[in-house]
């Protein structure tokens, strides 16, 4: 799923705006209100119709899933009480728990699950998550509470995908009633229910009084402790930092250069998740001249990952030479060491010269009369902006000039299907090696990679090999293949750093970096 930090802050007892530019009318606040900060307005709250991390962050309040992933990375029952695999591992049959209700009072049954997956499979719906679960062929109802998913091949990542908020089931009645407006009126089964959405300002959710938490790892088995959740769209970092200091926020995932200013203050605690599953990376358009491996090699050696880690994340994380996050099972550091491209600007210059890119006027290189001037696209984010500044400087040092443009995710990501860019800086968060398949199995997620029979075979095996030992081998081979072809320029994996007020309790992340929102409370509640 795409990379953006959208869950950045949590606040309580806020009765007015955080700044004059985000003022809200005075109102009686709920005695048990939690306020989260969103860095951007989500494009929709229709599960199955977005791969945005911002959207998934919001959906986690609204939807439970068929399964969850425990601390050991193993699937466990949630809305499904059990499941079984066919002998050829191409079908999974789920038995649903009886009595689960959507927020509108209708039943979550096998027909509702089928409706959700049929929508993802429907070409007319153009679901962006279809590519994630490309091996899915059909969803069939066997009886009232039994549903079967059929795949074209054994699909190793099925369970971990089904645990994502993307696959939370929507109320068919609500979808059909709201039509195209459903993304602004979502109805799920989770701990909180949708109340209102003021575009560009805030989303308000309220407690689901009938909620029962079926996960044994949860503290609270009943309705949530909080009466209300307000998701405030506050892009400005300074606003969140100030609100945390004044107590209007009870937790915040802020830019890491502010963390050290608060971690010695006894009013706060710092939680660091060093097993985060994100990867910051660059890609190439593969249009000339980036169809030349030598140019991709040179650019790859020109990038100072340590400088980006310091500038963007204040050192909270680790450089990564692999095309897979270090927090994902299957990550093989030895592959990155052997086949990666560590920072070596002198080597980058030599590679450029050998490829015909010679020094020209003003220190800029040129080949066949064409100057080394290229365009990088990325998504708007403070950490991204800092990384891009380092990248611009690194490439200028070897004779390459790059222009940079950024936009919100909903604008940036679709733009990569069109021409006008040479390189892109991206950040993807995922929990399974399948991310390599989704991004880079030819023709790739941006449909720009050349045909490659061997790479296609390897990346298909990543999602179809069920034996753990055999899958580890093919995952390692795939990392090697991606690096050898320079399809990706891996940069770093950042830690997840959260500052909480001392009174906040049960604020913790599960294996998929999701919060059990029904558990979170303040100590005086």
At residue 24, the pLDDT reads: 38
Tell whether the model's pLDDT for residue 143 goes beyond 80. yes
- Measure the CA–CA gap between 8 and 482, rounded to whole angstroms: 32
Contact at 8 Å (CB) between 336 and 493?
no
At residue 243, the pLDDT reads: 80
Q: Which tens digits make up the pLDDT trace of 446-500?
A: 999 999 999 999 999 998 998 888 999 999 999 999 999 999 999 999 988 888 8
Work out the angle at residue 515's Cα, subtended by the Cα atoms of residues 523 and 325, and round it to the nearest 5 degrees: 135
Tell whether the model's pLDDT for residue 13 goes beyond 60. no
Report the pLDDT averaged over residues 337-343: 98
Where do we find the tokens 């140019």?
A: 295
Q: Which tens digits make up the pLDDT trace of 103-125?
A: 999 999 999 999 999 999 999 99
236-275: burial string, b at 16+ Cβ within 10 Å, e else: ebebbbebbbeebbbbbbbbbbbbeebeeeeebbeeeeee
Task: Report the DSSP beta bridge partners of residue 82.
Answer: 95
At residue 292, the pLDDT reads: 97
Tell whether the model's pLDDT for residue 85 goes beyond 60. yes
Contact at 8 Å (CB) between 382 and 372?
no
At residue 261, the pLDDT reads: 79
Torsion sign over Cα 59, 61, 65, 71: positive
Phi, psi of 362 (to 5 degrees): 70, 15
Confidence of residue 29 (pLDDT cuts 50, 70, 90): very low
Neighbour order of strands in the sheet with 358-359: 358-359, 365-367, 370-371
Averaged pLDDT of the chain: 90
Helical (H) or strand (E) element with 335? helix 333-339
At residue 3, the pLDDT reads: 38
Closest among 65, 86, 90, 91 to 148, alpha carbons compared: 91
Closest among 118, 124, 132, 135 to 170, alpha carbons compared: 118
Render 363-374 in DSSP notation, one character per residue.
Answer: G-EEETTEE-EE
Q: Which tens digits make up the pLDDT trace of 177-193?
A: 999 999 999 999 999 99
Helical (H) or strand (E) element with 243? helix 237-246
At residue 481, the pLDDT reads: 98
Q: Are strands 358-359 and 228-233 parallel, antiparallel or unpaired?
A: unpaired
Tell whether the model's pLDDT for residue 416 goes beyond 70. yes
Tell whether the model's pLDDT for residue 74 goes beyond 70. yes
Confidence of residue 169 (pLDDT cuts 50, 70, 90): very high
Which pTM does this prediction carry? 0.76
Contacts of 41 (CB under 8 A, 6+ apart): 199, 200, 233
For residue 189, what are the CA distances in angstroms to 43, 193, 263, 278? 21, 8, 37, 28
- Measure the CA–CA gap between 133 and 140, rounded to whole angstroms: 16
Closest among 344, 311, 251 to 8, alpha carbons compared: 251
What six digits make up the tokens of 328?
A: 């994902």
Contact at 8 Å (CB) between 475 and 332?
yes
CB atoms within 10 A of CB 350: 14
CB atoms within 10 A of CB 429: 23
At residue 30, the pLDDT reads: 54
- Out of 38-47, 88-97, 270-279, 351-360, pick the least confident: 270-279
- Measure the CA–CA gap between 396 and 415, rounded to whole angstroms: 25
Tell whether the model's pLDDT for residue 345 goes beyond 90. yes
Q: Which tens digits make up the pLDDT trace of 225-263?
A: 999 999 988 778 888 888 888 888 877 777 777 787 788
- Measure the CA–CA gap between 68 and 47, rounded to whole angstroms: 16
At residue 9, the pLDDT reads: 37
């Amino acid at each position: 799923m795409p990379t953006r930090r959208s869950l950045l802050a949590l606040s309580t007892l806020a009765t007015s705006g955080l700044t004059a530019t985000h003022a809200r009318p005075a109102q009686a606040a709920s005695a048990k209100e939690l306020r989260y900060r969103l860095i951007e307005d989500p494009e929709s709250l229709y599960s199955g119709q977005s791969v945005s991390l911002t959207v998934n962050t919001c959906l986690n309040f609204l939807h439970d899933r068929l399964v969850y992933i425990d601390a050991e990375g193993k699937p466990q029952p949630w809305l499904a009480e059990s499941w079984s695999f066919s002998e050829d591992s191409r079908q999974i049959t789920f038995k649903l728990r009886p009595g689960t209700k959507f927020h509108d009072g209708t039943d979550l049954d096998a027909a509702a699950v089928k409706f959700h997956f049929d929508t993802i499979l429907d070409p007319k719906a153009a679901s962006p998550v279809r590519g994630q679960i490309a091996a899915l062929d059909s969803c069939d109802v066997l009886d009232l509470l039994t549903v079967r998913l059929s795949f074209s091949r054994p699909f190793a990542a099925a369970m971990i995908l089904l645990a994502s908020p993307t696959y939370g089931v929507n109320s068919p009645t609500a979808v059909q009633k709201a039509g195209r407006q459903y993304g602004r009126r979502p109805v799920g089964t989770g701990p909180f229910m949708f109340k209102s959405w003021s575009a560009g300002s805030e989303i308000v959710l309220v407690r689901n009084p009938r909620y029962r938490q079926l996960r044994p790892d949860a503290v609270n088995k009943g309705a949530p402790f909080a009466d209300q959740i307000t998701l405030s769209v506050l892009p400005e970092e300074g606003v969140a930092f100030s609100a945390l200091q004044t107590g209007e926020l009870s937790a915040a995932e802020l830019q890491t250069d502010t963390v050290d200013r608060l971690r010695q203050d006894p009013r706060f605690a710092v939680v660091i998740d060093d097993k985060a599953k994100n990867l910051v990376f660059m890609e190439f358009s593969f249009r000339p001249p980036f169809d030349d491996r030598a140019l991709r090699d040179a650019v790859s050696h020109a990038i100072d990952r340590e400088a980006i880690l310091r500038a963007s994340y204040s050192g909270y994380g680790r450089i990564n030479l692999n095309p897979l996050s270090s927090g994902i099972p299957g990550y093989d550091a030895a592959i990155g060491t052997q086949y990666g491209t560590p920072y070596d600007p002198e080597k980058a210059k030599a590679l450029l010269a050998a490829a015909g890119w010679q020094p020209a006027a003003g220190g800029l290189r040129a080949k066949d009369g064409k100057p080394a001037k290229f365009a990088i696209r990325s998504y708007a984010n403070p950490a991204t902006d800092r990384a891009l500044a380092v990248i611009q400087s690194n490439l200028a040092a070897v004779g390459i000039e790059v222009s940079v443009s950024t936009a919100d995710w909903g604008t940036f990501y679709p733009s990569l299907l069109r021409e006008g860019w040479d390189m892109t800086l991206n950040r993807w968060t995922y929990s399974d090696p399948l991310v390599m398949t989704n991004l880079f199995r030819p023709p790739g997620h941006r449909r720009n990679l050349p045909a490659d029979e061997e790479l296609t075979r390897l990346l298909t095996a990543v999602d179809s090999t069920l034996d753990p030992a055999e899958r580890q081998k093919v995952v390692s081979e795939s990392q090697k293949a991606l690096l050898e072809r320079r399809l990706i320029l891996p940069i770093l994996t950042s830690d997840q750093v959260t500052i909480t007020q001392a009174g906040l309790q049960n604020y913790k992340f599960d294996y998929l970096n999701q919060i059990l929102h029904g558990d979170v409370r303040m100590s005086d509640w």
